[in-house]
Amino acid sequence: MQILHTMLRVGDLEKSIWFYTKTLGMKLLRQKDYPAGRFTLAFLGYASEEEGTVLELTYNWDTKNYDLGNGFGHIALGVGNIYETCASIKKNGGTVTREPGPMKHGTTIIAFIEDPDGYKIELIEISSRNLNQ
């Protein structure tokens, strides 16, 4: 078994695709409208769906925003240089909600950002050696 994707419901599909592609560097892998159900699915990732886990954005045409609830935590992304990554995110209009620094009670360097719908994304600095494993 393997994890195939994580799904998020979004209020503005184009804004969310822009954020994940331009701000976080993902690729739009596929997108399809389902007129009978009044929704659109978009799949994004750093690799193809065959090669890695991807993000599914679900846009329900008649819903502009969602209650994020208190059960969802965050998506985590590994990055090579967290300080440069956060600077780039800010330059592209993204919101850094926790600046890079050691996690509480630990030494791992983390930061948090938010996507256009308010979903939390944790950035974790990992060595370039670990990125290739």
Catalytic residues: 122
* Bridge pairing between strands 27-34 and 95-102: unpaired
Look at the chain and count its residues.
133
Rg (CA), the chain: 15
Q: Using the 8-state DSSP alphabet, how is residue 106 labeled? A: S
Return the number of other C-beta atoms located less than 10 Å from residue 39's C-beta: 17
